[in-house]
Amino acid sequence: MDAKISAFRESFKRLLAEVKGEKIAVAGHIRPDGDCVSSQVAAAWLFRLAGAEKVVCVNSHEVPYLYRPFICGEAFENADAFDVSAYKIVTVDCADYARAGESLKQRKPEVLACIDHHVSNSPYAEINIVDPSSCATAALLAELMTDSGIEIPPEIASVLYVGEMADTRQLTTSNTDFRAFNVAARLVGLGADPAKISVLLYQREKFGRMKLLARFLQSLTMHFSGRVCAGVLPPGVYAATGSQKEDADGLVDYARNIDGVEIALLLEVLDDGGVKGSLRSKVPEMRVNEIAKAFGGGGHLAAAGFSVKTPLDEFYPRLLDVVESRLKAFDAEFSK
C-alpha cells in the first residue's frame, strides 16, 4: 500500500463516521468525465455501506453516454435544481468547489468532504482527502477502501477501473506509475473485466462524434514551427454534426498526437461568444496548466483548461503570446 494512503486513513475513517445517518449528496464536476462519474458511483455505494440515510449523485451536466453503462442504477440529479438543503455535500474529482457548479456552491457553501487528485486543489472542505500523486480519483478511492479493509464487490471494482482507465487514457498518461498499475491489477483481481470494459468504452463511437472529429481535424492550424497545434469548434457545430457537447471530450488528443506537436489546443467558441479552451502536452514538463492559469483556469501539468468571455479573434493573439512564453520557458529550462 502506498505510504500516502495511510496518511489519509484517519480522514477517511472520520468521513465514513460522519456520513452515518446523514443524507449525502455526492457532487461531481461540470461536464463530468469518466473519473468523475465513476468516483461518484463508487462513493455513493461506499456511503450507503457506511450507513448514510440517503445518498444521491448531483451534477450540473448529464452523465455522458459512454459512462451510462457504469452508473449501477444510481440516480443522478441535476445539481442546479436538486434541493440539497437537507444534504451534506461530498465532492469528488473537483479541484475547487465551483467546479461542482456555481449554483450548488451558492446554495450550500459548506462541504463536508472533498476527495480529489488535482494538483491545483486548494483545500475547501471540512475533510480533505487530496492526493495529486494519484492518477485518478477513482484509483484513490479504490486504495482508500482497500486500505480500510472494505470489500469491493465486482460491480464497484469495474466502476473504479473505468474511472482509472478514463483518466489515464488506458494507463498511458504521464501520471501512470507503478501504483496506478497496482490499483488496476487489484481491481481486475476483484472482478473488473478489461476486455469487456474496453469494448464498452472504446468501441461504441457515435456517428455524430466522428463527424464532429472531422470538423475539428479540418480546423487544425500549426503555430511555432509545428510545435503547437490548435483547432476550433465554432458555435452551432454540435447541431450541424448531430453531436453533443460531451462529444468534444478527447478531441484535443488528436491534435496532440501529431508528430512534433508539443502543445495542443482545442478552442470552443461558446454561444455567448466566450471561448472554452482545452490544453494538452506530450510531456508534463511543459506545464500547460500555467497557460490555463494565465486565463483563470487550471488543471494537470499535461492536461488543463480555461474559459474566457473574450471573443476568439481578440483572444487568439493573447493566447499565442502566452503559449510562446511557455515554450520559451520550457526551452530555457530543458535547453534542447
Q: How far is the CB of 305 from Mn ion (least distance, A)?
A: 12
Q: How far apart are CA 316 and CA 87, in angstroms?
A: 43
Residue 27 carries which side chain, given as an amino acid letter? A
Binding residues for Mn ion, rule CB under 5 A, total: 4
Burial class (CB in 10 A: 0-12, 13-18, 19+), 260: exposed
In this structure, are residues 35 and 173 in contact, taking their beta carbons and an 8 Å threshold? no
Cα(24)–Cα(89) distance, integer angstroms: 6
Tell me the CA distances in angstroms from 6 to 17, 180, 220, one per residue in order. Answer: 17, 16, 46
CA atoms of 56 and 85, how far apart (whole Å): 13
Q: Work out whether 35 is an interface residue with Mn ion (CB under 5 A).
A: yes
Does 96 engage in binding with Mn ion (CB under 5 A)? no
For the bound state, the minimum distance from the C-beta of residue 83 to Mn ion, rounded and expressed in Å, comes to: 28
Of the two residues 40 and 281, which places its CB atom closer to Mn ion in the complex? 40
CB-nearer residue toward Mn ion: 137 or 243? 137
Complete edge-to-edge strand list for the sheet that includes strand 54-59? 76-78, 54-59, 23-27, 88-92, 113-116, 127-130
Residue nearest Mn ion, CB atom distance:
35
CB of 6 to Mn ion, least distance (A): 22
Nearest distance, CB of residue 92 and Mn ion, angstroms: 9
Measure the CA–CA gap between 297 and 327, rounded to whole angstroms: 18
Whose CA is closest to 286, among 328, 226, 223? 328
Alpha carbon distance 196, 273 (integer Å)? 41
Crossing angle for the helix pair 154-168 and 194-202, nearest 10 degrees? Answer: 50
Shortest spacing between CB 137 and Mn ion, in angstroms: 5
Told to check if 131 binds Mn ion by CB under 5 A, we report: no
Of residues 11 and 173, the one with the C-beta less far from Mn ion: 173
Give the shortest CB-296-to-Mn ion separation in angstroms: 20
Stretch in the footprint of Mn ion (CB under 5 A) among 1-9, 47-55, 93-101, 310-318: 93-101
Smallest distance from Mn ion to CB 164, Å: 9
Return the range that interacts with Mn ion (CB under 5 A); candidates 159-167, 235-243, 274-282, 294-302: 159-167
Residue 35 or 143: the one with the smaller Cβ distance to Mn ion is 35
Nearer to Mn ion, 40 or 137 (CB): 137
Q: How far is the CB of 72 from Mn ion (least distance, A)?
A: 19
Among positions 291-330, residues that touch Mn ion (CB under 5 A) are: none
165/229 with CB nearer Mn ion? 165
- Residue for cell digits 534542447? 336
CB-wise, 119 or 261, nearer to Mn ion? 119
Residues ≥6 apart with Cβ < 8 Å to 87: 22, 23, 24, 25, 54, 56, 108
Query: By C-beta, is 58 or 92 nearer to Mn ion?
Result: 92
Closer CB to Mn ion, 18 or 167, in the complex: 167
Span 160-219, contacts to Mn ion by CB under 5 A? 167
Closest approach, Cβ 133 to Mn ion, in A, equals: 13
The set of residues, in sequence order, having a beta carbon less than 8 Å from that of 30 and lying 6+ positions away, is: 59, 60, 61, 99, 100, 101
Q: Which of 93, 131, 143, 164 binds Mn ion (CB under 5 A)?
A: 93
3-state secondary structure of 99: helix
Residues that bind Mn ion (CB under 5 A): 35, 93, 137, 167
